[in-house]
Structures are given as C-alpha cells and as structure tokens.
Amino acid sequence: MAPHSLKKNYRCSRSLKQFYSGGPFIVSSDGSFIVCACGDAINIVEASDSSVKSTIEGESDTLTALALSPDDKLLFSAGHSRQIRVWDLETLKCIRTWKGPVMGMACHASGGLLATAGADRKVLVWDVDGGFCTHYFKGHKGVVLSVLFHPDANKNILISGSDDATVRVWDLMAKNTEKKCLAILDKHFSAVSSIALSEDGLTLLTAGRDKVVNVWDLHDYSCKTTVATYEVLEAVTTVSSGSPFASFIASLDQKSKKKKTPSQETHFITLGERGVVRIWKSEGSVCFYEQKSSDITVSSDDEESKRGFTAAAMLPSNGGLLCVTADQQFFIYSVVENVEEPELVLSKRLVGYNEEISDMKFLGDEEQFLAVATNLEEVRVYDVATMSCSYVLAGHKEVVLSLDTCVSSPGNVLVVTGSKDKTVRLWNATSQSCIGVGTGHNGDILAVAFAKKSSSFFVSGSGYVLHK
C-alpha cells in the first residue's frame, strides 16, 4: 500500500485575532455586524463568529466616534485629528471629509443628516449629501459627549448630553437663535454619560456618573422621577414592547404578584462600574431585576476597574442586549425560555483583544472547544465553530503560563493549569469549576502535563523542579 502523502501547502480556514481595542463601536441595523475601533484602524466584524470581514486602515488617528447610516451603506468616523470622514462600506473608500473635534455622532432616520457632539462644546448638524453644516448649536459649558435625534421626524428635535451635567433639547426648525434651545435639563451633578428615549418617544432617560437616572417628560420637559442606582453609570437603554426582555419583565411581575404594569410606565436597563445588568421600572424607581454576580472575571480587588461595563446597545430583531466590558469584550445577553420561567443568560462572548498566547489545547475527544492561556489570570475556552468564548476558568492570582487537558474515566474533561502565582489548578471543564489547587513550587510553573495512558496523575515543572 502506498504511503500517505502529507500536504505541502496549507491555508488558514479560521482565525481569531484582535478586532477591538476599546473605544467607539456601532451595530448594524440588522445586528449582523459590528463596526469597532482597533488601534487607529476600523474593523467590520461578523457578529456571528467575530471574524473580521474587512478593515479600514487608519492614519495614526485615535478614533473617538462612529456612526452608521440607517441603510448601513455609509460609515461616519471621527478622531483626535479633528477629521470627520464618510466611508462607503461597499468600496471602503472615503468619499467626504469635514473638520471638527467630535466625541459622539448620530445619524438621522432619513439618513440625510448627521449630528456631531463636539469637544469644543458645540453641537453641529451636517447635510450628508451636500457636505455642509446645516445647524450650529452652542450653549453647553463643557464637552458634549452624546447626541440623539428624536425618532419621530415630525418632532424635529435633537438631544445632547454633556460633561457639564446638563442635557439640552434643540429645535431643528427654529429660525430665531434664541429659540433654538427648547429646554435645559439640569438635574444631574456630574457628566451625562448616556441618553435614551422610550419606545413611544414621550419619555427621555438620562444616565450620569453621579449614579442616578433621571426620567423626563418631553411634553413639558419636567423631571418625572430620579432613580438612585448607587453606581457610576455608563449606559442606559429602554426595553421595547413585544421583545423577549418585555416578556421577561412580565414574567417577573407575575411571579412577584404585583399589579399589572401601567401602560405608560417605562422599563429601562442600566450598566456601569459594577459589571451587572439591572432592569428598572420608572414608576416608583424600582429595581426589580439584578444579576446575582458579574460575568466579568477579575483576579484581585486591585483590578476592580476592569469589572465594569463601558457601553451597551439593544440588538435589533430580538438579538439580545450587547454589553461592552472595560477589558474589550462584547457580552450578548439573551432571554431563554425555561419550563418554569424565562431567564437572562450570557449567550455569547466575543473577545476583542487577546494578550500574548502562551499555551493552548483542544478539549475532549470531539475537539469542539479550545482552551487558550494568554497573558491573563484566566483560561478562555473557545467554541471552534463560532470562535466565540464559551466560558472562562478563573481563579489564579497571576498569569497562566501552561495548561494540559485529558478525558477522565467517568468521561469528564479535565484541565490542569500552571501559573506565575506558583500554584497548579485542576478544573472540571464539564462543570466549569475548580476541583483542586496544588502548591509547593517556589517559582513560575512553566509546564504541566497529564499522564497519557491512565490520566490518573499529572506533573508540573518550575525551574529545575518537577512535581507529580
């Protein structure tokens, strides 16, 4: 029989690489892709498997804001160079530029207008096709952080939030300069980090770093209520009727045997420094759902700053809640219908940035998952088919340097890890739990290995010392 011949040429069938380094991002109208900053470049990333569809190379310009046109054909970007660029996403060519120090952007539902929040305290509105400024609003006393068009075209209003602790409502149709600002909403005591509108467009929500959410009536611009959240907030978003989140809220109402929620009541979600999802009712300022613990893992109290969420967005077509973490991960939360009651679960985790990879191994006989040790205190386990991070093995106090895997006699998949914290840990990957910690080394554990025949023991190596 002729000997088997090995291929001499290979091609990469799938890869996982850095696609997000923190900063601005925007989700497409159908939720199929995410546009995000990666250094001075812009990546267009498939939401299904985190693969990079295409890249727009930067010009040594740190990005500060991104926006998409409603039809997803045009991308707007702004950076520290004070250049606002308009990109054709089909050709990836820059078709227009403007100048301005921009911190946030929003595109009108018609696609014809672009609003920019300026670091120079100004709010500008641009004609996308003509390339000229149509509106010039000034009045904020600090950096403008965000802008939002009212979804009802008949309203013709624009809302802006600033680090001067105020929110301003602007009239796009006013000809008199003095009447351009319809209202100044000044109930915050710190920067306004996020603004959102209710589904009917009658209620405005403003979240601040003063740890409160203010609920405003857009009829008379009065503050209906102030909700104390006791955490620095980075994002607020509303819940649409008919969505799985609305069903989730209804089931919680039924379980608590409370009165039926009034139709005019607004439900909203807050995210911030604690790294947990919380759902609130505007009526009575009640938090009626809070995650028991954060899904963001940190190795010590010194790294608590990495635990928080930095931004969030509701995905279209009932795609769930997208949350961005301080360590460049995208968490997608979905409502799962269980037999007893719906449950909010972390359905997908896209890792935007991996540190230097030190070791990796396939898990189990099917090799469906890949355990990866990077320059972190945790091991990330990836689904090979989707390249999304299925779960993490967290517990080491310092960087994980080595790992090995095996299948035990009962059929459980085991993982052993060695770390700079001078310990080894034995994990049950099936239950995603640590089942043992080994001590005794006096240095970094650079290698670990299971016995290949019996899998009844493993060895670990550190310097000139080998432990069994």
Give the model confidence (pLDDT) of 84-108 as tens digits: 999 999 999 999 999 999 999 999 9
pLDDT reported for residue 454: 78
Calculate what percentage of the chain has a pLDDT beyond 90: 66
Q: Tokens 């305290």 label which residue?
A: 121
The highest-confidence range among 159-173, 344-358, 395-409, by mean pLDDT, is: 159-173
- Cα separations in angstroms, 154 against 70, 111, 160, 169, 184: 18, 15, 18, 15, 21
Rounded Cα–Cα distance for residues 374 and 142 (Å): 40
pLDDT reported for residue 319: 85
Could you tell me if 344 and 289 are in contact, meaning their C-beta atoms sit under 8 angstroms apart? yes
pLDDT reported for residue 256: 66
pLDDT reported for residue 465: 66
pLDDT reported for residue 292: 87
Q: Which residues pair with 148 in a beta bridge?
A: 159
pLDDT category of residue 284 using cuts at 50, 70 and 90: confident
47 C-beta neighbours (distance < 10 Å), count: 21
pLDDT at residue 408 is higher than 60: yes
Calculate what percentage of the chain has a pLDDT beyond 70: 94
pLDDT category of residue 366 using cuts at 50, 70 and 90: confident
Across all residues in the chain, what is the average pLDDT?
90
What is the SS3 string spanning the chain?
CCCCCCCCCCCCCCCCCCCCCCCCEEECCCCCEEEEEECCEEEEEECCCCCEEEEECCCCCCEEEEEECCCCCEEEEEECCCEEEEEECCCCEEEEEEECCEEEEEECCCCCEEEEEECCCEEEEEECCCCCEEEEEECCCCCEEEEEECCCCCCCEEEEEECCCCEEEEECCCCCHHHCEEEEECCCCCCEEEEEECCCCCEEEEEECCCEEEEEECCCCEEEEEEECCCCEEEEEECCCCCHHHHHHHHHHHHHCCCCCCCCCCEEEEEECCCCCEEEECCCCEEEEECCCCCCCCCCHHHHHHCCEEEEEEECCCCEEEEEECCCEEEEEEEEECCCCEEEEEEEEEECCCCCCCEEEEECCCCCEEEEECCCCEEEEEECCCCCEEEEEECCCCCEEEEEEEECCCCCEEEEEEECCCCEEEEECCCCEEEEEECCCCCCCCEEEECCCCCCCEEEEECCEEEC
pLDDT reported for residue 141: 96
- Go through the domains of the chain in sequence order and give each one's CATH number: 25-351 (2.130.10.10), 359-467 (2.130.10.10)
The highest-confidence range among 124-133, 173-182, 337-346, by mean pLDDT, is: 124-133
pLDDT category of residue 354 using cuts at 50, 70 and 90: confident
The highest-confidence range among 269-273, 278-282, 285-289, 384-388, by mean pLDDT, is: 269-273
Q: In the predicted model, what is the mean pLDDT of residues 188-210?
A: 95
pLDDT at residue 1 is higher than 60: no
Lowest mean pLDDT among 87-101, 183-197, 220-234, 242-256: 242-256
Could you tell me if 177 and 190 are in contact, meaning their C-beta atoms sit under 8 angstroms apart? no
Selection from 458, 446, 391 nearest residue 419 by Cα:
446
Token duo for residue 452: 């290949």
Rounded Cα–Cα distance for residues 271 and 292 (Å): 14
pLDDT at residue 339 is higher than 70: no
Residues 26-84: tens digit of each pLDDT: 999 999 999 999 998 999 999 988 889 999 998 778 999 999 999 999 999 999 999 99
Dihedral sign computed on CA atoms, order 332, 316, 126, 41: positive
- Terminal C-alpha separation, the chain: 43
How many whole angstroms from its chain centre is CA 68? 17
pLDDT reported for residue 172: 94
Q: In the predicted model, what is the mean pLDDT of residues 439-446?
A: 91
Token duo for residue 32: 């199929």
Could you tell me if 195 and 148 are in contact, meaning their C-beta atoms sit under 8 angstroms apart? yes
| Phi/psi of residue 296, nearest 5 degrees | -90, 125
Residue type for 328, please? Answer: Q
Higher confidence at residue 14 or residue 262?
14
pLDDT category of residue 301 using cuts at 50, 70 and 90: low
Higher confidence at residue 374 or residue 144?
144
pLDDT reported for residue 304: 55
Token duo for residue 447: 């290698």
Query: What sections of 59-130 are H helices per DSSP?
Result: none
Q: In the predicted model, what is the mean pLDDT of residues 286-303?
A: 77
Q: In the predicted model, what is the mean pLDDT of residues 457-462?
A: 90
pLDDT at residue 370 is higher than 60: yes
- Cα separations in angstroms, 157 against 59, 195, 238: 35, 14, 19
pLDDT at residue 156 is higher than 70: yes
269 C-beta neighbours (distance < 10 Å), count: 22
pLDDT reported for residue 2: 62
Q: Which residues pair with 167 in a beta bridge?
A: 161, 185
pLDDT reported for residue 13: 77
Dihedral sign computed on CA atoms, order 74, 76, 81, 82: positive
pLDDT reported for residue 177: 67
Query: Is 431 exposed, middle or buried, given 0-12, 13-18 or 19+ CB atoms closer than 10 A?
Result: exposed
Residues 239-256: tens digit of each pLDDT: 988 888 888 888 887 776
Task: Name the pTM for this structure.
Answer: 0.89
Higher confidence at residue 220 or residue 463?
220
pLDDT at residue 203 is higher than 80: yes
pLDDT at residue 446 is higher than 80: yes
